[in-house]
Amino acid sequence: MNKVAVKPPFVISRIFDAPRELVFKVFTDPGHMQHWWGPKGFEIVSPKLDLRPGGTFHYGMQAPDGSVMWGRFVYREISAPERVAFISSFSDADGGIARHPMAPGWPLEMLTVFAFEELDDGRTKIVVTSSAYNASDEETATFDSNHPSMTNGFGGTFEKLEAYLVSLRKR
Q: How confident is the model at residue 8 (pLDDT cuts 50, 70, 90)?
A: confident
Domain 10-169 has CATH 3.90.740.10: no
Alpha-helix runs per DSSP H in 2-116: 20-27, 30-33
Long-range Cβ contact pairs of 147-150 (< 8 A, separation 24 or more) = 147/7, 147/10, 150/10, 150/12
Q: How confident is the model at residue 1 (pLDDT cuts 50, 70, 90)?
A: very low
pLDDT 10s digits, 13-25 = 999 999 999 999 9
Q: How confident is the model at residue 2 (pLDDT cuts 50, 70, 90)?
A: very low
- Contacts of residue 35, defined as CB under 8 A and 6 or more positions apart, other chains included, come to 44, 160, 164, 167
- Over the Cα atoms of the chain, what is R_g? 16
pTM of the model: 0.91
The conformational region for residue 131 under phi > 0 = left, psi -120 to 50 = alpha, else beta, is beta
Using the 8-state DSSP alphabet, how is residue 4 labeled?
Answer: P
Kind of pairing between the strands at 43-49 and 124-133:
unpaired
Q: Which of 4-8, 29-33, 43-47, 122-126 has the least mean pLDDT?
A: 4-8
Cα separation, 152 vs 118, whole angstroms: 24
